[in-house]
Chains A and B, each alone.
Chain A
Amino acid sequence: MTTPSTFIHLTCAESRKLSGRALLWAEAGIFALLVGGLHLALIATLAAPQQQGLPPEALAALKASLRWPQGFLGGLAFAGGNGLGGLLAVVLAAALGGQEYTWRTVHLWLSRGVGRTAYLLSKATVLSVALLLLALTAFLAGAAATGAYTLHTSGSLPWHALPWGKAAVGVLAATLSLAPYAALTLLIAILTRSTLAAVGLGVGYNLLVENMAAKVLMLVFPHAGRIPRYLPAMLGQSLLQSAAPGSEVSVGVSGASGSIALLSPTTAALLLAAYTLAALAPTWWAFRHQDISA
């Protein structure tokens, strides 16, 4: 059963399975609360009297970065793979892949002639849509918080000046930056058949390998300092900063780049897609050849 219509039916079924899960909506809700909440916390901090000691230009620049139109894209800073978005993507991909084994539902589909390729492809398609939803959530939460601040300080919203095109590209860029993490986690979930192992290893890669190991490498071998910029975290940052320039300003979570020169957005996008495919290819191979105990 690998015809296009089967794939469409499977994808519809997969999306119904995912949309019926509390996990997806809980992740989106938590993400929205955190992004919106952090923006509001920063706005509140800037409004505090002790901040008035800052140079007036710096204070004005910071406030402008939290107001529309500049702050419109601020939420995307969180959606990147090396931020909170990456961790949420790992949990989602682990649940989507691993729990089918735990619940023995993978048997339910495969034993009725569903092709393994079509099954996996439908899962990857629905996971991509879920990542898009996470990126969109971060963007909307940030836009809502900065919009509220703009309305409070200016009395009106500059709808005509909003960079809608950049917002769309930024959401897509954020989605692409999440994809390698989700693909790697799906691979681990298929190989280990465990949600817990997939979450543990996925988060471990995100936090330890990408963040700590790369920094240690740079400290020990200064000439190897270029390596981190080719890792998904930095690639995501390269892409986001070019696609949605406002996204790196607002809450200051983009400091990880330090002095590393970022790659061009095209190169970053291609490498992110390559990382995603590099994780999906062995996932497909392993799943096609996997023995699934009856």
Chain B
Amino acid sequence: MGKPVLRLRHLSKHFKGVRAVENLTLEVYAGECFGFLGPNGAGKTTTIGMILGLLRPTSGHVEVFGRPVTPTHTASLQEVGALVGTPGFYPYLSGRVNLRLLASLYPSVNEARVEAMLARVGLEAAAHRKVKTYSTGMKQRLGLAAALLHRPRLLVLDEPTSGLDPVGMAEMRQLLRDLTQDGVTVFLSSHLLHEVEQVCDRVAVLHRGQLLAHGTVVDLLRGHQDLEAFFMEAVTPTP
């Protein structure tokens, strides 16, 4: 295994008495695709919020590339790309101008890179249109282009295929494989267990804010028909 790119240590987040995430510890290594699974309300998005410096942990800490991340310490996030839910963009601006705005933050990202990203996600023909005219799937594609724009070393994806059609989902799977082959580390939160099983090396299962299981896909599948069977067994309370 490579060096840990992402490290969560005893991470907890409580909202007015609700324990959204409780004492979560895990590490994600360079170049791997890590699946982050859990039913609705398990705390996946809250965890991602803390990884991206949007939420302040109640206790514990997050490290990205060996440096701490909190809402006031976000320097290491410059090498992170994120796509969380349906991404937000300025609806009155075109897809291209939205990307240009983000590109202006990075000296290494030029106009050619913006166009290349638009082409990579299949939006070159609609790039001049205002984002308010985009479908959910198109916004998702633009979000992916924004996440990849600055050549991040870590990609954090929360339900990246929501809103995509089957073709888009297949393209996404291929893209994730390509990225990991290029050495990009992927942290993928998804409900689509089949998708995770196909592209991820290791997975963690979160339930009611707590880590139920984690390990390689191969190890977790031992004794189970597929990841769905493992997942159902893990999150269903034993009588």
Contact = CB atoms under 8 A, between A and B. Distances in A.
Contacts of A103: 88-91
Nearest to B146: A108
Nearest to B105: A9
Contact of B88 (A13, A107, A112): A107
Contact of B54 (A10, A20, A107, A289): A107
Interface residues of B, number: 38
Interface residues of A, number: 31
B39 interface: no
B71 A290 contact: yes
A23 to B, nearest CB: 9
Contacts of A16: 97, 101
Contacts of A108: 87-89, 102, 146
A291 B21 CA distance: 15
Contacts, number: 107
Contacts of A289: 56, 71
Interface string A99-122: 000011111101111111000000
Contacts of B92: 20-22
A52 B124 CA distance: 68
Given A20-B90, A104-B87, A294-B84, A13 B101 contact: yes
Interface of B: 45-46, 48-49, 52-56, 71-72, 74-82, 84-93, 97, 101-102, 104-105, 146, 150, 158
23 contacts: A1-B74, A13-B104, A17-B101, A20-B93, A104-B86, A105-B89, A108-B89, A110-B52, A111-B53, A111-B77, A112-B78, A112-B150, A113-B53, A113-B74, A113-B76, A113-B78, A115-B74, A288-B72, A290-B71, A291-B56, A293-B45, A294-B55, A294-B84
